[in-house]
Structure 1
Amino acid sequence: MASTAARGATSGLILTRSPLLRIVTLLVFYFTQGFPIGLFVYAIPAWMAANGADTTQVAAVVGMASLPWSLKLVNGFIIDRYTFLPMGRRRVWIIGAQSLLVLALLAGALIAPLPLDVAVLSALAFCANVAVTFQDVGIDSLAVDIMPEDERAKAGGIMGGAQLLGMSASMAGGGWLLELSGITGCLAVGAVIPAAVMLFGVMLREREGERRLPWTAGRAHPHNLAVQVEAWWPLLKASFKAMVVPLSLCLIPILLVRSLHAGAFESFHPVMFQERAGWSATDYSSFSSIQSLISGVFAMIVGGPLVARIGAQRALIFALAGGAAVILAMALLPHLWSETWFLMTTQVTLDLFAMVYFVCGITLSMRMCDLKVAATQFTVFMALGNFGRPLGASLAAATAGAGHPVLMYLLLAGLWGAMVVLMLLVRFPHENRTQHVVAQDLPQGEGPPPRVN
């Protein structure tokens, strides 16, 4: 009986044994991350507005949906500090967060709030996105833990693309279901795929010998026992030491600049497209949705493999130089801002360069993470990338908002160009060295387990 249980704990869906399983896991969990964003930031606010909600009421729901993402930094410390090692370092958090997402959507379906029930909709938006932010940090840190170097660029493409595809699916499907069957049908159907992904997560193991569930057979893997930090002070100290390494400090401005243009364009382009090119609000939102879909597919099919083939450092230099050229063209050719072909071409081209930038940023961030504090450190890196968005919005307000849009484009092009110079001067590592350090400390060392006849 004990022998059967032991064999069961070393067989089945084990992430460290299968490259395909690792990629599929990232794909499905990142796809479901897009669901609450698409529903509570886009589809449900549009449904509220169409049924009489004013800007303040819609903004309350969108704000509560966005708030957990601003607080995501705390999640990394919690996930690094507390876990249940017999189920792996990250999986208990991933399954728990996915379960909370499903429960939040089902609770919304049962409550069936009306379009003007702002408090209820805000609470649902907050809970669903809290769940997804914990799932996001858990799956990110799992990728850092188990992804070998040759898979990390592909992983970055999956991360960027799958979430965008999930957002597109939930925006389109959510809007259609809200019209067809109301919010009950929308949220009930919206819970089905996250529930299926949750069950998929239950079937997995991070490493051999671990438990699928707390009450099943299995034990903590020696690798996880070697890297787990069991007290707050060592965790905080290790996190600080990991972030002040010179190469980590060099990575910070690269991550900050990544989303500057997004914040600036989101603030200025809706106005510019309508005033200069005569687009309607519907035209702009439809184009943005299609653009997100194109970017998501590009990241998964082209971006990840491209970065893996030519290397993250070279790919990032290429993306930065190309993006700087596109932004500079927008600054130097303001007489073409009224031409739809020019606006669409520059937007789509820059977005593709930005997706390569995103994939490279994830790859470099993974390499710089200390495995002991991977959830915390990787979350800090990603938070820095997201922080560029509000900075970009402030830049747009100070330049384009004051009547100087050309200056906005020139500053953005200059910052992207400065990052090219930085990337030419700094050499980032080609792999995560702490993985090898930890592996060599284990009795077995690196590589697959020895076969026992």
Structure 2
Amino acid sequence: MKDKTTRVKNSLGKNLTDNAKTRYLTFSALYVAQGIPEGITYFALPAWMAMNGKSAMEIASLVSVMLIPWSFKVLIAPLMDRFTVLSMGRKRPWVLFGQLGLILSFINLGLVTDPLNNLSGLMVAGFLVNFFGAFQDVATDGMAVEVIPRKEQARANGLMWGSKTIGNSLALITGTWLINNFGFSFTVFSLSIAVACIMIFPLYFKERPGEKLLPWTVGNASIESRKTQLRSWKHIFKSLYRVVILKSSLVLCLGIFILGIMYGLVDTLLPIFSIQELGWSNSYFSNILSITTVIGGFLGMFIGGYLVDYFGKIKMLTLYLVLATILIAVFAFITQLWSSIFVVFTFILFYYTLYTFLCIAIFASAMHLCWKKVAATQFTLYMALSNMGRAMGAGLLGILKTSFDWEMVFITISIIPFTLVILIQFINLKRHRIIVQSFDVSVFKMAAPPVVKN
């Protein structure tokens, strides 16, 4: 009997809440689906346009328009927490909608006629791809927070983030080759098949036992979904405020924003530094970036999450930030070695590996702090703060480079992770969970309104 039970637990099940392998596989696949369109729209498409003589202004305007939908995430998340087809799960209906929209919008991108001379058409199509990409991202993160147990969150985030990085890089490499040999439309249609195939996962796997697979199939809302579902905007924002105002959550908000500044500074710095200071070509830099991010993605998938699970989120965050401080500071003081491709390649490789590991630890910590009632909104708030930090970091680079040389710019950046080492020590994940659990107890004691089954 024991062997039979073990075999059942180790095999794939149809419910995300019942089986770890099912969760890992499903969320990794959904993150690959996000990475493929991003690899095309953010890297392969702009590079193809640049190769065909399009101006920096045209390319920059296209990319800026495509990035706009990601700022809508803060508005999308409360919508998902407020409305759903509860009999199909709290977030799975939204995942299905977002994934379907991502598939159709990606195909639509391939239908743009004469894309090199149709900037407005590319803007509209690219905007839609990223809108549904952001939509699917919010829904996937919200579902992950609700169905992934705390002990699995770091490992799951490692697999998810690594999968997205690999999907992004492989789409860039494959997409560039296909565009050069078969054209833009053929490339997008070919890669959209991969995105469409991933639809199988949210279609086949349900959140919890007894729920409907599709609206017309048999099933009912689970008891847990009914308990955690909020039915008014007032309750959503009141609950969000109640959990975000806790000390550990406020500290994480500040930490994520500051860390985002570092991300924005380095991401903006590297292409300028490598091309203007080191004399690299843009294609050479792109190849180096693809190689290093793929390596970092693989390490994150198979090592990053495990380390956070084994040693703890705050301990590993502290270690990663200390290593990031040392890495950036040491690079700043070895200016005489910047001419060595090996040295710079090693720096970029270690930075993006640490970047991946930091993202895994940060996301796992953010999930740990989330209250299931407002999971999508709360987690999206954390990510929105990171995006705001990135934007500020990108803008700060121009100011820093105007005032200082590259050596001083790197030294200034190294101060950021050092500051965060001190800040994150004020996060107490265990105490935060105890307080959030007391919220649930107080809510359950209150009389609940009648629920109509879907």
1:223 alignment counterpart? 224
Q: How does 1:112-191 map to 2 (within 5 A)?
A: 112-191=113-192
Structure 2 CA distance for aligned equivalents of residues 272 and 377 of structure 1: 36
Structure 1 CA distance for aligned equivalents of residues 103 and 281 of structure 2: 36
Structure 2 CA distance for aligned equivalents of residues 193 and 414 of structure 1: 42
Structure 2 SS opposite 1:73: helix
Q: Displacement, 1:440?
A: 11
Q: Displacement, 1:86?
A: 0.6
Q: How does 1:155-304 map to 2 (within 5 A)?
A: 155-304=156-305
Structure 1 CA distance for aligned equivalents of residues 340 and 179 of structure 2: 35
Which amino acid is the alignment partner of residue 332 of structure 1? F
Q: Displacement, 1:106?
A: 2.2
Q: How does 1:55-74 map to 2 (within 5 A)?
A: 55-74=56-75
- Higher mean Cα deviation, 376-385 or 55-64? 55-64
Q: 1:238 to 1:46 in 2, by over 3 A?
A: same
Q: Indicate conservation of the 8 Å contact 2:297/2:353, yes or no.
A: no
Q: 1:401 to 1:432 in 2, by over 3 A?
A: same
Q: Displacement, 1:128?
A: 1.0
Q: What's the % identity of the aligned pairs?
A: 29
Structure 1 SS opposite 2:430: coil
Q: Displacement, 1:310?
A: 0.8
Q: What is the Cα-based RMSD across aligned positions, in Å? A: 2.2
Deviations for 1:210-240, whole angstroms, at most 9, x for unmatched residues? Answer: 0011111111111111111111111111112
Structure 2 CA distance for aligned equivalents of residues 272 and 301 of structure 1: 31
1:359 alignment counterpart? 360
Q: Indicate conservation of the 8 Å contact 1:243/1:377, yes or no.
A: yes
Q: 1:262 to 1:53 in 2, by over 3 A?
A: same
1:323 alignment counterpart? 324
Which amino acid is the alignment partner of residue 332 of structure 2? A
Q: Displacement, 1:412?
A: 2.1
Structure 2 CA distance for aligned equivalents of residues 422 and 212 of structure 1: 44
Q: Displacement, 1:441?
A: 8.6
Deviations for 1:294-346, whole angstroms, at most 9, x for unmatched residues? Answer: 11111101111111111111111110111111111123333333332322222
- Higher mean Cα deviation, 407-416 or 199-208? 407-416
Structure 2 CA distance for aligned equivalents of residues 195 and 379 of structure 1: 25
Structure 2 SS opposite 1:214: coil
Q: Indicate conservation of the 8 Å contact 1:243/1:249, yes or no.
A: yes
Which amino acid is the alignment partner of residue 126 of structure 1? F
1:448 alignment counterpart? none
TM-score, normalization by structure 2: 0.90
Structure 2 SS opposite 1:115: helix
2:103 alignment counterpart? 102
Q: Displacement, 1:264?
A: 1.5
Structure 2 regions of 5+ residues with no counterpart? 1-11, 446-454
Structure 2 CA distance for aligned equivalents of residues 221 and 356 of structure 1: 35
- Higher mean Cα deviation, 268-277 or 76-85? 268-277
Structure 2 CA distance for aligned equivalents of residues 117 and 439 of structure 1: 57
Number of equivalenced pairs: 433
Q: Displacement, 1:282?
A: 1.9
TM-score, normalization by structure 1: 0.90
Deviations for 1:57-88, whole angstroms, at most 9, x for unmatched residues? Answer: 22232122211112221111111111110100
Q: Indicate conservation of the 8 Å contact 1:367/1:430, yes or no.
A: no
Q: 1:121 to 1:216 in 2, by over 3 A?
A: same
Which amino acid is the alignment partner of residue 19 of structure 2? S
1:8 alignment counterpart? none
1:42 alignment counterpart? 43
Structure 2 CA distance for aligned equivalents of residues 431 and 69 of structure 1: 29
- Higher mean Cα deviation, 410-419 or 354-363? 410-419
Deviations for 1:381-434, whole angstroms, at most 9, x for unmatched residues? Answer: 111122221222233212123333333222322221121122334433288554
Structure 2 SS opposite 1:71: helix
Q: Indicate conservation of the 8 Å contact 2:69/2:127, yes or no.
A: yes
Structure 2 CA distance for aligned equivalents of residues 440 and 425 of structure 1: 26
2:20 alignment counterpart? 19
Which amino acid is the alignment partner of residue 215 of structure 2? P
Structure 1 SS opposite 2:211: coil
Which amino acid is the alignment partner of residue 371 of structure 2? D
Q: Displacement, 1:55?
A: 2.0
Structure 2 CA distance for aligned equivalents of residues 327 and 268 of structure 1: 13
Q: Indicate conservation of the 8 Å contact 2:13/2:19, yes or no.
A: no
Q: Indicate conservation of the 8 Å contact 1:79/1:90, yes or no.
A: yes
Structure 2 CA distance for aligned equivalents of residues 55 and 235 of structure 1: 43
Structure 2 CA distance for aligned equivalents of residues 153 and 304 of structure 1: 5
1:394 is the counterpart of 2:407:
no
1:382 alignment counterpart? 383
Q: Indicate conservation of the 8 Å contact 1:113/1:120, yes or no.
A: no
Structure 2 SS opposite 1:16: coil
Q: Indicate conservation of the 8 Å contact 2:112/2:125, yes or no.
A: no
